[in-house]
């Protein structure tokens, strides 16, 4: 039996997000002495053999999970998803050039803002007028003949809209995959660069994973500040300065967990789809009471956005959820309502508990 202080909740937070309990237990077991070193992983030198092993295995596991081709580099960086909004244009967008941005929500808009400091972002499609309820069809994209890259957000975390398959650009694809990274298989060779901050599906905050093709790396602009230059990080094996050791370590444990406990990305994708299907089906069955934000064809498997008939009932729903230890279900202030983030580490039991509340709350309030 756990003490009340040690109880676990079903955490629906969009990020930092739930981490599998077995991973946390393992980290706890390693806490005082990492691999017999007599030190925690946060206390060992990032230039030590133990650190070399850690980085090597983390990269090898990721390469195996995603089938990362040989001509791609894997970088472990800091600065979160937000730093990539800047690093992408700093490295690839020259002042006299345009880059395509497909705008499907909150995070894409942030990225466009930073791109404008380097060159000219061209919005190939925007869902803003429709209040970001869907992603575009490829035929809807208004693409320039020449552009430095085509940028999109595979899953817009706040609105809960997700690309089922990546769009086709006329220039190398750059993807912010922060909130659906490692939730399903991806064909890496379709991208010039794909990045994700870890704190949604792949670890704690502090780590951002970048997967970049050699060809893209060759396009990097000269004379960049070292810490913002992909080439420098690649040349230094992601240890240009002190890396976030604990975050990389947890990322390593999570890659093992995905492979060994969850059966790899294909199996995990089936599992994630089933959780999302269960939740959307329950919402749809009660569409007289609950409405979903995203159009059915663009619904996110990771972030399920919905509301009750009124803001007052939304607040009551959140309070009722809290009483059942279903936490962090409030939607982002720009969208309102509720958002259930059901990333890799959300167990089926958490989704079922939420479904039960959906039924009971509607029965009590309609």
Which residues in this chain contact ligand PLP in the complex, by CB under 6 A? 15, 80-82, 107, 153, 157, 176, 178-179, 197, 200
The set of catalytic residues is 107, 176, 200
d(CA 355, CA 244): 37
For residue 162, the minimal CB distance to ligand PLP (Å) is 10
Retrieve residue 287's tokens: 């569409």
Task: Name 31's Cβ contacts closer than 8 Å, sequence gap at least 6.
Answer: 40
Q: Percentages helix, strand, coil for the chain, rounded to the nearest 5?
A: 40, 15, 45
For residue 333, the minimal CB distance to ligand PLP (Å) is 15
For residue 225, the minimal CB distance to ligand PLP (Å) is 19
Task: Name 307's Cβ contacts closer than 8 Å, sequence gap at least 6.
Answer: 290, 291, 293, 314, 331, 336, 337, 338
Cβ atoms of 149 and 134 within 8 Å: the answer is: no
Residue number with CB closer to ligand PLP (157 or 255): 157
Residue number with CB closer to ligand PLP (200 or 299): 200
- DSSP E strands, 185-277: 193-197, 208-213
Residue number with CB closer to ligand PLP (199 or 255): 199
For residue 344, the minimal CB distance to ligand PLP (Å) is 14
Q: What angle do CA 15, 196, 172 make, to 5 degrees?
A: 145
For residue 149, the minimal CB distance to ligand PLP (Å) is 17
Residue number with CB closer to ligand PLP (15 or 350): 15
Residue nearest ligand PLP (C-beta atom): 80
Q: What angle do CA 95, 101, 102 make, to 5 degrees?
A: 175
The bridge status of strand 10-11 relative to strand 326-327 is: parallel
Cβ atoms of 97 and 241 within 8 Å: the answer is: no
Buried b / exposed e across 48-85, counting CB within 10 Å, b at 16+? eebbeebbeebbebbbebbebeeebbbbbbbbbbebbb
Residue number with CB closer to ligand PLP (91 or 201): 201
């Amino acid at each position: 039996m756990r003490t009340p202080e040690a109880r676990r909740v079903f955490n629906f937070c969009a990020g930092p997000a739930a981490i599998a309990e077995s991973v946390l237990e393992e980290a706890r077991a390693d806490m005082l002495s990492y691999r017999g070193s007599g030190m925690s992983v946060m206390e060992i030198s990032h230039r030590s053999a133990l650190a070399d092993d850690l980085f090597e295995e983390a990269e090898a596991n990721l390469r195996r999970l995603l089938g990362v081709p040989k001509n791609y580099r894997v970088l472990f960086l800091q600065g979160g998803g937000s730093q990539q909004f800047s690093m992408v244009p700093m490295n690839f967008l020259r002042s006299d050039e345009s880059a395509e941005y497909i705008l499907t929500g909150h995070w894409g808009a942030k990225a466009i803002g930073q791109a404008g400091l380097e060159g000219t972002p061209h919005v190939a499609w925007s869902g803003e007028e429709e209040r970001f309820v869907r992603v575009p069809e490829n035929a809807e994209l208004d693409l320039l003949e020449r552009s430095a890259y085509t940028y999109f957000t595979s899953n817009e975390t706040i609105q809960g809209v997700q690309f089922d398959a990546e769009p086709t650009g006329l220039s190398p694809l750059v993807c912010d995959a922060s909130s659906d990274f490692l939730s399903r298989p991806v064909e890496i060779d379709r991208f010039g660069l794909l990045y994700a901050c870890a704190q949604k599906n792949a670890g704690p905050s502090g780590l951002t994973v970048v997967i970049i093709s050699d060809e893209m790396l060759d396009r990097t602009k000269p004379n960049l500040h070292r810490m913002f230059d992909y080439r420098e990080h690649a040349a230094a094996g992601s240890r240009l300065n002190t890396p976030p050791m604990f975050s990389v370590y947890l990322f390593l444990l999570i890659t093992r967990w995905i492979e060994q406990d969850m059966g790899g990305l294909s199996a995990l994708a089936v599992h994630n789809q089933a959780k999302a299907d269960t939740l959307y089906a329950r919402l749809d069955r009660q569409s007289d009471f609950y409405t979903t934000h995203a159009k059915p064809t663009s619904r996110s498997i990771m972030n399920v956005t919905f509301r009750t008939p009124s803001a007052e009932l939304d607040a009551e729903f959140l309070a009722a959820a809290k009483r059942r230890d279903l936490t962090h279900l409030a939607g982002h202030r720009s969208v309102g309502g509720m958002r259930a983030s059901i990333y890799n580490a959300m167990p089926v039991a958490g989704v079922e508990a939420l479904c039960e509340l959906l039924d009971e709350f509607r029965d009590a309030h309609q």
